[in-house]
Structure 1
Amino acid sequence: MDNLYKYNKEIKYSALFAGMISSFSMSFMGSSINIALPAIGLEFSMGAVMLGWIATSYLLTTAIFQVPLGRLADIYGRKNFFIAGLLIFAFASFFTIFINSGFLFILLRVIQGVGGSMVFGTSVAIITSVFDGNERGKALGWHVSSVYTGMTAGPFLGGILTHNFGWRSIFVINTILCLIAVSFVLLKLNAQWAEAKGEKFDLFGSLIFGPAIFSVIFGLTNINKNGILFLVLGLLLIGLFIIVELKIKQPIINMQLFINNKVFAFSNLAAMIHYSSTFAVGFMMSLYLQYVKGFTPQNAGLVIMIQPVIMMIFAPIAGRLSDKKHPGKIASLGMGITALGLFLLIFLNQ
Structure 2
Amino acid sequence: MANMIAGEGHAMISQRRRWVGLVFISIAVALIIVDSTIVNVAIPSIVRDLDITSTQVQWVQESYTLVFAALLLVFGTLADRYGRRRILITGVIIFAAASVLAALSTSGDLLIGSRIIQGIGGAMVLPTTLSLINATFRGKERGIAFAVWGSTIGGMVAVGPLLGGWLTTVYSWRWAFGINVPLAVIIVIGVVVCVAESKDAGRPRRIDVFGAVLSVIASASLVFGLIEGRNYGWWLTKTGSAPVIGGWTWPFALSPIPIVFAVTVVSVVSFIAWGVHRQRAGKTTLLSFALFTIPSFRNGNIAAMIVSLGEFGIILSLPLWLQNVLGYSALQTGFVLLALAIGSFAASGLSSVMLAKITPISIVRIGIIAEILGVAGLGLVISASSTWPMIAVFLFVYGFGVGLATAQLTGVVLKDVPIDQSGQGSGTASTARQIGSALGIAILGTILFTSVGSSLEARLSDQFPQMPAATRSQIVNEVVVSAGGAIPALVEHDGQVGQAAREAFSEGTRYSAFAASGFLVLGLLATLRLSDGRRVEEPEQVEQKESAG
TM-score by length of structure 1 reads 0.84
Question: Does the 8 Å CA contact 2:321/2:505 hold for their aligned counterparts?
Answer: no
After superposition, residues 210-225 of structure 1 pair within 5 angstroms as 210-223=216-229, 224=233, 225=237
Match of 2:369 in 1: 333
Partner Cα distance (2:188, 2:66) in 1: 25
Match of 1:240 in 2: 270
Shift of 1:18: 2.2
Match of 2:392 in 1: none
Question: Does the 8 Å CA contact 1:38/1:290 hold for their aligned counterparts?
Answer: no
Partner Cα distance (1:37, 1:50) in 2: 11
Match of 1:73 in 2: 79
Partner Cα distance (2:298, 2:374) in 1: 21
After superposition, residues 1-350 of structure 1 pair within 5 angstroms as 8-9=14-15, 11-46=17-52, 50-133=56-139, 135-188=141-194, 191-195=197-201, 197-223=203-229, 224=233, 225=237, 226-249=256-279, 250-258=284-292, 260-314=293-347, 320=354, 323=359, 326=362, 330=366, 333=369, 336-337=372-373, 340=376, 348-349=505-506
Moved more, 213-222 or 273-282: 273-282
Shift of 1:99: 0.4
1:275-298 deviation per Cα after TM superposition (whole angstroms, max 9, x unaligned): 234544323333443345443211
Shift of 1:186: 3.4
Partner Cα distance (1:148, 1:85) in 2: 21
Partner Cα distance (1:327, 1:137) in 2: 10
1:297-338 deviation per Cα after TM superposition (whole angstroms, max 9, x unaligned): 111212233334334445666783862875675466357547
1:76-134 deviation per Cα after TM superposition (whole angstroms, max 9, x unaligned): 11222111101001101112111022222221111111111111121232233334446
In 2 relative to 1, CA 153–327 (structure 1 residues): closer, same or farther, beyond 3 Å? Answer: closer
Aligned-partner SS, 2:42? helix
Question: Does the 8 Å CA contact 2:152/2:345 hold for their aligned counterparts?
Answer: no
Partner Cα distance (1:279, 1:246) in 2: 34
In 2 relative to 1, CA 273–335 (structure 1 residues): closer, same or farther, beyond 3 Å? Answer: farther
Shift of 1:204: 1.9
In structure 1, the gaps of 5 or more residues are: none
Q: How many residues align?
A: 346
Question: Does the 8 Å CA contact 2:135/2:198 hold for their aligned counterparts?
Answer: no
Question: Does the 8 Å CA contact 2:208/2:285 hold for their aligned counterparts?
Answer: yes
Partner Cα distance (2:52, 2:374) in 1: 31
Question: Does the 8 Å CA contact 1:217/1:231 hold for their aligned counterparts?
Answer: no
Greater RCO (CA < 8 Å, at least 6 residues apart) = 1
Aligned-partner SS, 1:349? helix
Q: Percent identity?
A: 27
Partner Cα distance (1:63, 1:283) in 2: 18
Aligned-partner SS, 1:248? helix
Partner Cα distance (1:13, 1:271) in 2: 26
Moved more, 40-49 or 19-28: 40-49
In 2 relative to 1, CA 266–53 (structure 1 residues): closer, same or farther, beyond 3 Å? Answer: farther
Q: State the AA in 2 paired with 1:306.
A: A
Partner Cα distance (2:159, 2:371) in 1: 24
In 2 relative to 1, CA 34–12 (structure 1 residues): closer, same or farther, beyond 3 Å? Answer: same
Shift of 1:26: 1.9
In 2 relative to 1, CA 326–17 (structure 1 residues): closer, same or farther, beyond 3 Å? Answer: closer
Question: Does the 8 Å CA contact 1:156/1:298 hold for their aligned counterparts?
Answer: yes
In 2 relative to 1, CA 178–197 (structure 1 residues): closer, same or farther, beyond 3 Å? Answer: farther
Q: State the AA in 1 paired with 2:376.
A: L
In 2 relative to 1, CA 340–195 (structure 1 residues): closer, same or farther, beyond 3 Å? Answer: farther
Question: Does the 8 Å CA contact 1:215/1:231 hold for their aligned counterparts?
Answer: yes
Q: State the AA in 1 paired with 2:117.
A: I
Moved more, 103-112 or 321-330: 321-330
In 2 relative to 1, CA 6–220 (structure 1 residues): closer, same or farther, beyond 3 Å? Answer: farther
Aligned-partner SS, 2:41? helix
TM-score by length of structure 2 reads 0.56
In structure 2, the gaps of 5 or more residues are: 1-9, 238-255, 383-447, 449-503, 508-549
Q: State the AA in 2 paired with 1:286.
A: P
In 2 relative to 1, CA 42–28 (structure 1 residues): closer, same or farther, beyond 3 Å? Answer: same
Match of 2:253 in 1: none
Partner Cα distance (2:297, 2:193) in 1: 38
Aligned-partner SS, 2:179? helix
Aligned-partner SS, 1:8? helix
Q: State the AA in 2 paired with 1:227.
A: I
Partner Cα distance (1:271, 1:49) in 2: 31
